[in-house]
Amino acid sequence: MSFLCWLFECRISVSVADLFHHQCSWALISSCWLGLLFFCHVMTTQPTRQRLKFKDLPIGQRFFDPISAEYFVKQSDSMAAMVTGIGDGTVPDEFEADDVVGVDL
């Protein structure tokens, strides 16, 4: 069973009516909330990135541009192609040599 299905089942079993009628255990309520907090933490945690200048990246390196919040692949000394979001890797975008970008570790 996936984690989201487990959370959904907890949500169903811990309804407001159950809380008022004391039909569910506090352990179940606590475990559902802890599971939800863990899920939210995992979904919002950013990958660890090393900060580099664009000029220091090798050609073909995938990197994150913090300005556009998208991933690119370096194609030349001044060009890179977006590979996430609406980019399919075919349209180049210009970068300055001193632009700071991130490489996922």
Q: Which two tokens stand for residue 13?
A: 């079993």
Distance CA(24)–CA(19), nearest Å, equals: 7
Whole-model pTM over 0.85: no
| Chosen CATH of 49-104 out of 2.40.128, 2.30.30, 1.10.10, 3.40.50 | 2.30.30
Angle at CA of residue 37, ends 32 and 42, nearest 5°: 125
- Per-residue model confidence (pLDDT) at position 60: 95
Q: What is the pLDDT of residues 77-90, one digit of tens each?
A: 999 999 987 778 88
- Per-residue model confidence (pLDDT) at position 64: 96
- Per-residue model confidence (pLDDT) at position 37: 45
Q: Where are the domains of the chain?
A: 3-44, 49-104
Q: What is the pLDDT of residues 7-61, one digit of tens each?
A: 445 454 445 455 445 555 555 555 554 454 444 444 566 679 999 999 999 999 9
- Per-residue model confidence (pLDDT) at position 81: 95
